[in-house]
Structure 1
Amino acid sequence: MIFNIRNFAILTSLTAGSVHAETWRSDLDWASLEAKLSPSASLIDTGFSDFQEQCLPEFRDKTALDRTNHDLIDQPSGLCVSQMLCAYERCWARPEVASRTQAQRALDEPGLFDDYD
């Protein structure tokens, strides 16, 4: 069962102050939004490929015991958050095994992200 994620937003937008014609939602006034940001803030043009390259390996290529939030910090896209797994019931991405023991989860782990290759 998937729950809604609260307080999580991703802005797909522009870089270096120039609006790209093919930017997602080019009908929106990204330049006006950028002008309202504080000097230390910026809008980043990002997409699924950035998530796949920067975030997914932490979950796909490592066992549960080897994963760390520190490897997700400061990725350029800003998309990597460990809380994404908590969109699932009991923060486990495989609800059919949510009630199994930790030992069984460890046995199930090698095939957890095979569908993402």
Structure 2
Amino acid sequence: MKKIVLLSLAALCQVAPAGAQQPAATMNQGQMSALDSNKDGAVERSEYESFMTAAFANLDKNKDGSLSPDETKQALNAQQFAATDANSDGKVTQKEFLDRVMADFKTADRSGDGALK
């Protein structure tokens, strides 16, 4: 599930809002290119965190500093939303969001070198 969250959010946020609920095993080249801001062929932790911070702001349509299930419905199913909502208050704060996606990044970084290739 963690990898699904990571990749669903990456796919959702790289372009205009579009459905991205299908699970993916790896990021496709278009997703990698969009996230690889220094164009070195890898998505480093700092690039991913920066991208996801901007993605949170983009997803937060009402700019209240948290995400509702409605704001994330294009990327997360109810189970994924609940897993991201660490304190189970029905909303996902930026900290909860970044904690989840960065944990997902760490899981996806199989080599442990701080980059996805």
Question: Shared fold by TM > 0.5?
Answer: no
Higher relative contact order (CA 8 A, sep 6+): 2
Greater strand fraction, Structure 1 or Structure 2:
2
Q: Give the number of the structure whose residues are more often helix, by fraction.
A: 2
Q: State the structure with more CA Rg.
A: 1
What's the TM-score, normalizing by structure 1?
Answer: 0.31
TM-score by length of 2: 0.31
